[in-house]
Amino acid sequence: MGPMSGLKVLDLSRVLAGPWATQMLADLGADVIKIERPEGGDDTRGWGPPYLRDAQGRETTESAYYLSANRGKRSVAIDLASPEGQKLVRDLALQSDVLVENFKVGGLARYGLAWQDLAPLNPRLIYCSISAFGQDGPLAQAAGYDAMMQAMGGIMSITGAADDEAGASPGAGPQKVGVAIVDLMAGMYAVSAVTSALYERERSGKGQHIDLALLDTVVSWLANQSMNYLVSGRAPQRQGTAHPNIVPYQVFRTADGSLMLAVGNDTQFARLCSSAGRDELARDPRFATNAERVRHRDRLVPLLDQLLRTRKTGSWVAALQPLGVPCAPINDIAQVFEEPQVKHRGLRISLPHPIAGQAPGVRNPIRYSRSALEHGAAPPLLGQHTGEVLSERLGLGPADVQALRERGIVR
């Protein structure tokens, strides 16, 4: 049983930030009911190709994007535009511990499902609102997706090759991260906020509203880069794969490809130099300490570049890893799943799927010594559990559910 077994979560979110959070809660054992539109459901169901294929190799309607963020949930398809649908969702909310939503600010108020509507009826409810800019401020009503948050929140300004980097394409410019990192981090912050609110509820007996903004999220995890600016007054610039505060900590070319070298201290640097047959570099006052290596990176990096090109990537990895010098090949995602360590840790999983037979997935990285994580259910089909949940939670019989289906209120 997962550590959150018995927790009831009502998921009114779609796309990625909210569903990522609720998938994590489902992995931890919570019973997550995903409310979707009867026509089309979560937007990401249509975000393909690629789509999951069945045992005969035929495409299903389940997109890979949707499958990435909805494991372990039960799908209930309800028309929120109808008063009857609104009442069904409200009744489910009154039985829930947690509600997660990412409607535009004020969007659920017209359905009678805002925090202000539900809190008096369910005082223990933890209500988590995820929005682009937060519940207040001059941009509160504006819409926003991950890519624009990466741009506005500064992460794109420090991601990509420097304008003067050798080999950089003219106008390469700022780059976004290859996954929707703002959405994913907002989902992780949401899980942290929800679990903390549940812990506080044990003392106070009261629920509360969580206001989580994508813009706040990206600004908050600029981490050392934001502090570099706040301390120095100089805005950090793009440095490709190089680190602003550590040297050498970047990609280098090798005889047959590339190597990510991540030297984190002076001892590791000395071991690197010894393995390369250049012990004198570690004794050079310009390079002996990290602070000096940062100051003299323009002299050191070209020297290392010449050295690392003398051997193949695999040779460097085999030589440096036993010495405790962090380094790694740059794997594509197919190579990631062939890594012996990834296989040993069982990160690739397969879950039973109602139309495809099996659906691939990636295991939650959390491992407890006693508690189990839940990986029992593939992402649900649209409305797969409507009848089951309405019967179990609201006491509706098959005839009641069928009547609602015939009127288009549920699917």
C-alpha distances out from residue 213 to 16, 42, 192, 280, Å? 14, 20, 14, 51
In the chain, residues under CATH classification 3.30.1540.10 are 249-330
In the chain, residues under CATH classification 3.40.50.10540 are 8-220+344-406
Given 31, 97, 183, 216, the catalytic residue: 183
Tell me the C-alpha distance between 255 and 321, whole Å.
Answer: 18
Does 249-330 carry CATH code 3.30.1540.10? yes
11 is catalytic: no
Burial of 226 (0-12, 13-18, 19+ CB in 10 A): middle
The class that CATH gives domain 8-220+344-406 is alpha beta
CB atoms within 10 A of CB 409: 22
Q: Residue 376 has what pLDDT?
A: 80
Residues 6 or more apart whose Cβ sits within 8 Å of residue 93: 10, 99, 113, 118, 121, 122, 125
Helical residues (DSSP H) of 103-254, grouped into ranges: 115-118, 146-152, 181-204, 214-220, 223-232
By the 8 A CB rule, do 249 and 236 touch? no
pLDDT, one tens digit for every residue, the chain (411 residues): 899 999 999 999 999 999 999 999 999 999 999 999 999 999 999 999 999 999 899 999 999 999 999 999 999 999 999 999 999 999 999 999 999 999 999 999 999 999 999 999 999 999 999 999 999 999 999 999 999 999 999 999 999 998 876 555 555 789 999 999 999 999 999 999 999 999 999 999 999 999 999 999 999 999 999 999 999 999 999 999 999 999 999 999 999 999 999 999 999 999 999 999 999 999 999 999 999 999 999 999 999 999 999 999 999 999 999 999 999 999 999 999 999 999 999 999 999 999 999 999 999 999 999 998 988 899 999 999 999 999 999 999 999 999 999 999 999
Q: Residue 171 has what pLDDT?
A: 56
Strand order in the sheet with 73-77: 73-77, 31-36, 8-12, 98-101, 126-131, 208-213
- pTM > 0.85: yes or no: yes
Q: Residue 168 has what pLDDT?
A: 54
